[in-house]
Amino acid sequence: MQLAFCLYKYFPFGGMQRDFLRIAQACQARGHAIRVYVLEWQGEVPPGFDVVHVPVRALFNHHRYRKYTDWVRADLARRPVERVIGFNKMPGLDVYYAADPCFEDKAQTLRNPLYRLGGRYRHFAAYERAVFGAESRTEILLITKAQAPAFARHYGTPPERFHVMPPGIAADRHRPDNVGEIRAGLRAEFGLTDDAFLLVQIGSGFKTKGVDRTLSSVAALPKDLQSRTRLIVIGQDTPKPFQLQAATLGLGSRVTFLSGRSDVPRFLLGADLMIHPAYHEAGGIVLLEALVAGLPVIATRTCGFSHFIEEADAGVILGEPFEQAALNESLAASLRDADLRRRWQANGLAFAARADLYTLPERAADVILQLPARERGSQ
Sheet holding 197-202: strands in order across?
255-258, 229-234, 197-202, 273-276, 297-300, 315-318
Residue 93, pLDDT score: 98
- Residue ranges per domain, the chain? 2-166+359-370, 171-354
Percent of the chain with pLDDT over 90: 92
Under the banding of pLDDT at 50, 70 and 90, the label for residue 33 is: very high
Under the banding of pLDDT at 50, 70 and 90, the label for residue 334 is: very high
pLDDT for 72 beyond 60:
yes
Q: CB–CB of 95/366 below 8 Å?
A: no
Q: How far apart are CA 122 and CA 120, in angstroms?
A: 6
Residue 216, pLDDT score: 98
pLDDT in tens, 177-198: 999 999 999 999 999 999 999 9
Q: CB–CB of 37/81 below 8 Å?
A: no
Under the banding of pLDDT at 50, 70 and 90, the label for residue 113 is: very high
Q: Decide if 2-166+359-370 and 171-354 have a common fold.
A: yes
Residue 375, pLDDT score: 54
Q: Which CATH architecture has domain 2-166+359-370?
A: 3-Layer(aba) Sandwich (3.40)
Please give the average per-residue pLDDT across 28-53, as a whole number.
Answer: 98
Under the banding of pLDDT at 50, 70 and 90, the label for residue 376 is: very low
Q: CB–CB of 254/215 below 8 Å?
A: no
The class that CATH gives domain 171-354 is alpha beta
Residue 374, pLDDT score: 59
- Write the DSSP string, 19-84: HHHHHHHHHHHTT-EEEEEESEE-SPPPTTEEEEE-----SSHHHHHHHHHHHHHHHHHHS--SEE
Instruction: Say whether pTM exceeds 0.75.
Output: yes
Please give the average per-residue pLDDT across 81-103, as a whole number.
Answer: 97
pLDDT in tens, 249-287: 999 889 999 999 989 999 999 999 999 999 999 899 999
Phi, psi torsion values for 127, nearest 5 degrees:
-70, -35
Contacts of 10 by beta carbon, 8 Å cutoff, 6+ apart: 17, 20, 21, 36, 38, 40, 41, 42, 43
Please give the average per-residue pLDDT across 316-339, as a whole number.
Answer: 97
Residue 173, pLDDT score: 82
Under the banding of pLDDT at 50, 70 and 90, the label for residue 13 is: confident
Contacts of 339 by beta carbon, 8 Å cutoff, 6+ apart: none
Instruction: Give just the sign of the alpha carbon dihedral 75, 81, 85, 87.
Output: negative
Under the banding of pLDDT at 50, 70 and 90, the label for residue 220 is: very high
Residue 104, pLDDT score: 97
Average pLDDT, the chain: 95
Q: Specify the range with the lowest mean pLDDT, choosing from 61-70, 164-173, 284-293.
A: 164-173
Residue 373, pLDDT score: 67
DSSP letter at 176 equals P
Under the banding of pLDDT at 50, 70 and 90, the label for residue 171 is: confident
Q: Which residue has the higher pLDDT, 358 or 378?
A: 358
Please give the average per-residue pLDDT across 147-166, as a whole number.
Answer: 96
